[in-house]
A and B are shown apart, each in its own frame.
Chain A
Amino acid sequence: MASGRGARSWLGLPRSLVLGTFSVVLVLGAWWAATSGFRLLNPLRLPAPVEVWVAFQQILDRGYAGGTLWSHAQHSLGLVAKGFAVAIFTGVPLGLLMGWSRHAEALINPIFLLLRPIPALAWIPLAIVWFGLGDTGKIFVIWLTAFVPSVINAFTGVRQVDPVLIAAARTQGASTAQVIRHVVIPGSMPMIFTGLRLSLQASWTTLVAAELVGAFFGLGRVLNIAGQDIFPGMIIVGMVAVAVCGAVTTWLLGLVERRVINWRPAV
């Protein structure tokens, strides 16, 4: 539409990089100016950059809300990893089965129709009734978050496999197990990973919500305590930590995706 992408403008650097850096620096500068520079904002509403830095140092060295930043992050990462792994190992096979067999679909689909419209976040109070405030409840709600998209995308993935490929494999004498193993599963992988990417981000939202509602440990706990202490610097540290965890896990999933789907370029 406008001129071509990747145009170079300044010192041979890509224009988008220069403008992007400029805008980020501008916003950080405005933040500093509004808080420390001219004291336009009440520090209890928006902390100054230096307060965030102090909070960061504090949670890194001495810890906050019962642990250091790393230990809280590790705990949250562990919960997401566990819930997500269980969701993949239960959801994908079920979705494959439903995609493969119309009978299984007809039988299992009604249960999904009933449960799918209820967001995983709405299960948090029930999870607390069932499992208390410990880790099991968190793993349960993360499992729910990732389970439904895993099933649906695996299902859709199977249905999108070209029937000609299946027929071709059959005419060449492939058994059902071989067809599933070598045609159906690889064919549905791209779709499955699309679902996983979406549900990974949702898993972090669910975990933060669950930890805010009640937890003994984790990044949501840090946010919760910082909110109660009215410690704005620490709230920002918690938010950034959640964002970094979300970004890192998304990046890791991308690595796995490229390794698993190695027969075509990533989209």
Chain B
Amino acid sequence: MGQRNFLGPSGTVLGHGEFWLLTLAGFGLFFGTWWGVTALGLLPAQTLPSPLDVWQTLVRLWERPFAGHVYSEHLGASIRRFLMGWAIAVAIGIPLGLLMGWYRVLDEVITPLFDSIRFVAPLAWVPLAALWFGTGIGGPLLIIFVGSFAPCVISAYRGARLVEERLVEAAQMLGASSRQTIWHVVIPGSLPSIIAGLRVSAGLGWQSLVGSELIVVGAGLGYLMVQGQANLETSVVIAGMIGIGIVGFVMDVLLRAVESAFRRRWGQE
């Protein structure tokens, strides 16, 4: 939403000063309402703790363990779990998508299977994952994998299919083998689509991780939140949400940066 054209479709002009004033007012509105509602005692702290409460809880969680670990350990457990599950999804999904885009037989054989499984919501795998892996690391990994797999396959597949036929034909005419064509033409050509897909899949995988942690694990931000809720410590729940939001945000910013770097590198902008 960050275009720098201050003339809206409505035809009114928004000045720089006005923009920052309103943005500041927006932040003020959010925290002001939150603080006001709690300060006036409209809602008990058990329902909505004040911003200050949440801040103090964050500091406390950082120093003293809650639900078995300090905050940074929960954070680390979540990130590790996410990275492992996501890495598996990327390592299988991208090559599979590329091959499906390249070999039509593979596309025709796998797509129906893929389509019939795609509609199973990732979190619906939780009970089956529990049967297969018990309370081990495998359960959450499977959920993250299922959550982030589809965008990897689809983006690589689309990327491979969008590579210009002219280029493929030129490579083949110059004597490139099928393997060389894939490696030097198809993969670089589909990179922009793949990287866009990685961003989507990271977001979905992170969500799936949060969902799985609410249900099956013994450490991590999701687990912290569930324990906070069970102990009626709502400020702990919100502290968990903040951590989840920050990690998700940082991840998205990093992948966006990679995406635009690649776009510049491959001259698509």
Q: Which A residues contact B (CB, under 8 angstroms)?
A: 1-3, 15-16, 19-24, 27, 44-45, 98-103, 105-112, 114-115, 117-126, 128-130, 152, 155, 158-159, 161, 163, 166, 170, 176, 184, 201-202, 204-205, 207-209, 212-213, 220, 223-224, 226-227, 230, 232, 235-236, 238-240, 242-244, 246-247, 250
The residue from B10, B22, B119, B229 contacting A107, defined by CB atoms under 8 A apart: B22
CB-based nearest B residue for A120: B207
B211–chain A nearest beta-carbon distance, Å: 4
Chain A residues with CB under 8 A of B30: 110-111, 114
B128 within 8 A of A: yes
Cα–Cα distance between A262 and B163 once the two chains are bound (Å): 32
Is B14 within 8 A of A223, CB to CB? no
For B103, B119, B147, B252, the residue with the greatest tally of chain A CB atoms inside 10 Å of its CB is B119
Is A16 within 8 A of B8, CB to CB? no
Cα–Cα distance between A16 and B115 once the two chains are bound (Å): 14
A-binding segment of B58-66, B86-94, B235-243:
B235-243
Chain B residues with CB under 8 A of A207: 121
Chain A residues with CB under 8 A of B122: 205
> A107 with B26: in contact, given A1-B102, A1-B161, A242-B121 (CB under 8 Å)?
yes
> A163 with B18: in contact, given A110-B23, A118-B248, A205-B207 (CB under 8 Å)?
no
For A3, A22, A129, the residue with the greatest tally of chain B CB atoms inside 10 Å of its CB is A129
Chain B residues with CB under 8 A of A3: 104
For B7, B117, B131, B252, the residue with the greatest tally of chain A CB atoms inside 10 Å of its CB is B131
B210 within 8 A of A: yes
B192–chain A nearest beta-carbon distance, Å: 18
Is A105 within 8 A of B249, CB to CB? no
Is B7 within 8 A of A102, CB to CB? yes
9 nearest A-B pairs in the assembled complex, by CB-CB distance: A227-B127, A110-B26, A106-B22, A20-B112, A117-B249, A102-B8, A102-B14, A243-B119, A19-B108
Is A129 within 8 A of B229, CB to CB? yes
B175 within 8 A of A: no
Is B8 within 8 A of A125, CB to CB? no
Is A102 within 8 A of B19, CB to CB? yes
Is A159 within 8 A of B9, CB to CB? yes
Chain B residues with CB under 8 A of A107: 22-23, 25-26, 29
A-B contact pairs, 18 of them (CB 8 A): A20-B108, A44-B131, A101-B8, A109-B1, A109-B26, A110-B27, A111-B27, A115-B245, A122-B210, A125-B226, A129-B232, A152-B1, A159-B9, A204-B121, A232-B131, A238-B124, A242-B124, A244-B119
